[in-house]
């Protein structure tokens, strides 16, 4: 059995309160006593039980993060940014992936009981679940998801990025675009579409091509629909994976890109560089880091009014949009 604070107290000939003081460096302790305690602790290889400490302090010293997946680079980067700041702040990080989970809400609820606050990414659980948690007094920060009630949020400037992307395409002569994605899968996807619409002049046309999933396969699958009839001037895809799938199939069909049709993605994943894909980069790590800081303020009670951070995006132009359309 491991040594407890009582063992150390006995060994050092002091009370447990003194041991606690020395170890936490709280309260004044005479140097000589202090040394005795440290010696005893060292002798017994004493490591304070986090379980006991947490219960006494009534805090977990841990934060959770809920995400749909970790496969793409997107969420992985956000999680990393979050973890590094949380660690600096002395908090452990609990993770929860909702992928393939039918009881996501229950899992999040359970997780909330094991940490002092949590970050929720994207469309992992319904708004109602967020509100229930918030109502129970949980500290929550939403990322890549529009604000709900008085809950903090951190988002990338999707609309702004989409407008920049659209203007870039318009400059190249694009007049008809197809947005590939499903606005209902994630708030980001919906916001991007809105941004495009905002930037579009009356003489340009935007259609939505709905796909079930934001993966390569879905991107490839829709190409068939366009080979038999007219191609638009540009395919604007909700994310890079979709764009990469679409791009591969188009090229395989001998379609000239960007001569005949231009293609864009979103996220700037590593493969986008190899494919020469024009895309929009988001500060993924910074999204996570910002969330960690907001959450810390919330838990620490430093702040009571909700905050909603918006982080910048950046257009990355590559070869899938370099050509001029009908010059």
Partner DNA sequence: GTGAAAGCGCTAACAC
Partner DNA sequence: GTGTTAGCGCTTTCAC
Which residues contact a second copy by CB under 8 A?
A: 2, 45, 47, 49-52, 54-55, 58, 60, 62, 69-71, 73, 76-77, 79-80, 83-84, 87, 92-97, 99-101, 107, 111, 113-114, 136-137, 241, 244, 248, 269-271, 273-275
* Contact string 1-40 vs DNA (x = CB under 7 A): xx-xxx------xxxxxx-xx-xx-xxxxx-xxx------
The minimum distance between CB 1 and a second copy, in angstroms, equals 10
The minimum distance between CB 80 and a second copy, in angstroms, equals 5
Binder among 35, 43, 55, 95 for DNA (CB under 7 A): 55
The minimum distance between CB 128 and a second copy, in angstroms, equals 16
> Which of the choices a second copy, DNA, none does residue 16 contact, using the CB cut-off of 5 to 8 A by kind?
DNA
> Which of the choices a second copy, DNA, none does residue 105 contact, using the CB cut-off of 5 to 8 A by kind?
none
> Which of the choices DNA, a second copy, none does residue 17 contact, using the CB cut-off of 5 to 8 A by kind?
DNA
The minimum distance between CB 133 and DNA, in angstroms, equals 18
Binder among 35, 39, 42, 57 for DNA (CB under 7 A): 57
> Which of the choices DNA, a second copy, none does residue 26 contact, using the CB cut-off of 5 to 8 A by kind?
DNA
> Which of the choices DNA, a second copy, none does residue 79 contact, using the CB cut-off of 5 to 8 A by kind?
a second copy
- Per residue, what are the HEC states of the chain? CCCCHHHHHHHHCCCHHHHHHHHHCCCCCCHHHHHHHHHHHHHCCCCCCHHHHHHHHCCCCEEEEEECCCCCHHHHHHHHHHHHHHHHCCCEEEEEECCCCCCHHHHHHHHHCCCCEEEEECCCCCHHHHHHHHHCCCEEEEECCCCCCCCEEEEECHHHHHHHHHHHHHHCCCCEEEEEECCCCCHHHHHHHHHHHHHCCCCCEEEEEECCCCCHHHHHHHHHHHHCCCCCCEEEECCHHHHHHHHHHHHHCCCCCCCCCEEECCECCHHHHHHCCEEEECCHHHHHHHHHHHHHHHHHCCCCCCCEEEECCEEECCHHHCCCCCC
Binding residues for DNA (CB under 7 A): 1-2, 4-6, 13-18, 20-21, 23-24, 26-30, 32-34, 46, 48-49, 51-53, 55-58
């Amino acid at each position: 059995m491991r040594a407890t604070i009582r063992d150390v107290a006995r060994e050092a000939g002091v009370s447990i309160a003194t041991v606690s003081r020395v170890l936490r460096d709280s309260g004044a302790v005479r140097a000589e006593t202090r040394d005795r305690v440290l010696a005893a602790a060292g002798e017994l290889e004493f490591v304070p039980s986090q379980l006991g400490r947490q219960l006494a302090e009534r805090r977990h010293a841990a934060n959770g993060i809920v995400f749909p997946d970790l496969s793409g680079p997107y969420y992985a980067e956000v999680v990393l940014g979050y973890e590094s700041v949380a660690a600096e702040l002395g908090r452990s990080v609990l993770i929860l992936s909702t992928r393939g989970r039918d009881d996501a809400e229950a899992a999040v609820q359970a997780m909330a009981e094991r940490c002092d606050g949590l970050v929720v990414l994207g469309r992992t659980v319904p708004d109602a679940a967020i509100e229930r948690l918030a109502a129970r007094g949980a500290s929550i920060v939403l990322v890549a998801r529009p604000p709900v009630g008085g809950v903090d949020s951190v988002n990338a400037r999707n609309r702004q990025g989409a407008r920049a992307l659209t203007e870039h395409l318009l400059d190249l002569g694009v007049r008809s675009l197809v947005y590939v994605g499903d606005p209902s899968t994630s708030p980001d996807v919906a916001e991007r579409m809105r941004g495009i619409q905002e930037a579009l002049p009356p003489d340009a046309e935007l259609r939505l091509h709905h796909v079930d999933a934001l993966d390569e396969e879905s991107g490839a699958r829709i190409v068939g629909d366009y080979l038999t009839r007219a191609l638009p001037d540009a395919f604007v895809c909700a994310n890079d994976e979709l764009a990469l799938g679409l791009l591969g199939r188009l090229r395989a069909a001998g379609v000239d890109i960007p001569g005949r049709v231009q293609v864009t993605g979103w996220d700037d994943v590593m493969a986008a560089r190899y494919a020469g894909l024009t895309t929009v980069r988001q500060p993924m790590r910074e999204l996570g880091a910002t969330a960690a800081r907001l959450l810390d303020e919330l838990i620490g009670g430093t702040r009571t009014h909700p905050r909603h951070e918006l982080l910048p995006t950046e257009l990355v132009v590559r070869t899938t949009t370099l050509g001029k359309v009908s010059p």
